[in-house]
Amino acid sequence: MKLSRSDRRLLNELQRDATRNQSELADIVGMSRTSCWRRIREFEEAGLIERQVALLNPRVAGFNLQVLLFVAMTEHTDENRHSFERHVSSLPEVTECFSVSGERDYVLHVVVQDMDSYNEFLNRQILKHAAVRSASSTFALRRVKYSTALPLAP
């Protein structure tokens, strides 16, 4: 999708705070309210804006442990891959899952309340899955940077 400069300004502002009304957004990015509304709808219809959500602070919500979980599969078959991906998609503790290259097949971002919760999650939800050969965990000590904003040029 080709984006104009005003499109990028609008999208950057939406990434910063999507709760502002269209009049306020239009003033900030120098568009008419109607143009602003129309472009937002076009972005949604094109799939550029997938959805608007509230971003919660994991610690304040009681999730004190964040883990990067590296998973290796038993076999690289379509059946194993689809089965594991469906399973992981159903787990609320997994906030992100990437299929990756290298020694491991997947990297999962997992949020849980504490180490006991993680131990139970790992043993019951991941290691018992028939497609999983092994898993290795890296625990986040502190979050240095977090952003959901794409780096659109102004």
CA 27 – CA 8 distance, rounded (Å): 15
CATH fold of 5-46, please? Arc Repressor Mutant, subunit A (1.10.10)
**Predicted confidence band of residue 153 (pLDDT cuts 50, 70, 90):** confident
The domain over range 65-139 is classified in CATH as 2.40.110.10: no
- Is-contact 13 20, C-beta < 8 A? yes
Q: What percent of the chain has pLDDT over 70?
A: 100
Average pLDDT of the chain is 96
Percent over 90 (pLDDT), the chain = 97
Report d(CA 106, CA 101) in Å as an integer. Answer: 8
pLDDT band at residue 154 using 50, 70 and 90 as cut-offs: confident
Q: Are strands 65-73 and 106-112 parallel, antiparallel or unpaired?
A: antiparallel
| Residue 74 banded pLDDT, cuts 50, 70, 90 | very high
What value does the mean pLDDT take over residues 121-131?
98
Pairing of strands 132-139, 94-99: unpaired
